[in-house]
Amino acid sequence: MKVLFLDRDGTLIHEPDGGYIDSIDKFNILPHVITSLQKLQFIGYKLIMISNQPGLGTAKFPYENFIVPQNELMKIFKDNKIFFEKTYFCPHFRENNCSCMKPRTGLIEGFIKSNNVEVEKSYTVGDRDSDVLLAKNIGCKNIFFSNKTHTGSVFNSHDWSAIADYILNEN
């Protein structure tokens, strides 16, 4: 199985200045995400969402507020026949020193092993150093969702159409 490990905030949906996406009015899917994921799914990529959500479940960021835009996102994907194998969220703070905060691999290690993920054909896509390092830690490639280049990435773009084209060309 080849997999795209997708960051959420700032990669699939707009990241507001305040950081937390805890209401529906802060929710905006980014351009060309839908058509790009449809194309990549069509050539056999399985989709995994993996996102750090520090403080999820605390008074400042209650789960009930998180799940409203998250459910809306998944509904839009489903309505467009885009299916995620799994969605993974780390709720911890850096000082918790957990094993699941990206770039650590705790959230997805089990999935990779039990599904025989072909890491050499797989990518992480994200807008942070932690997404680049996650790729390194699991042995796959990274696409940096940014106009800036990154030494740890095989490709960078802030345009999902270009990212889809890149992956399609590599397959």
Instruction: Output the known binding site for Zn(2+).
Output: 90, 92, 98, 100
31's tokens = 């351009």
> One of 9, 25, 129, 159 is an active-site residue; which one?
9
**Rounded Cα–Cα distance for residues 32 and 87 (Å):** 20
Cα–chain-centroid distance for residue 92? 17
Binding-site residues from annotation: 7, 9, 90, 92, 98, 100, 127
For Zn ion, give the closer residue by CB, 100 or 167: 100
137's tokens = 């830690």
Q: Specify whether 165 is catalytic.
A: no
Query: Mask 91-130, x = binds Zn ion (CB under 5 A)?
Result: -x-----x-xx-----------------------------
Is residue 103 reached through a cis peptide bond, with omega within 30 degrees of 0 on the bond before it? Answer: yes
Q: Specify whether 9 is catalytic.
A: yes
Give the one residue of 50, 90, 117, 132 binding Zn ion; rule: CB under 5 A.
90
In sequence order, the 6+-apart residues with CB closer than 8 A to the CB of 92 are: 54, 98, 100, 101
Residues found near Zn ion in the complex (CB under 5 A): 90, 92, 98, 100-101
Which are the catalytic amino acids? Answer: 7, 9
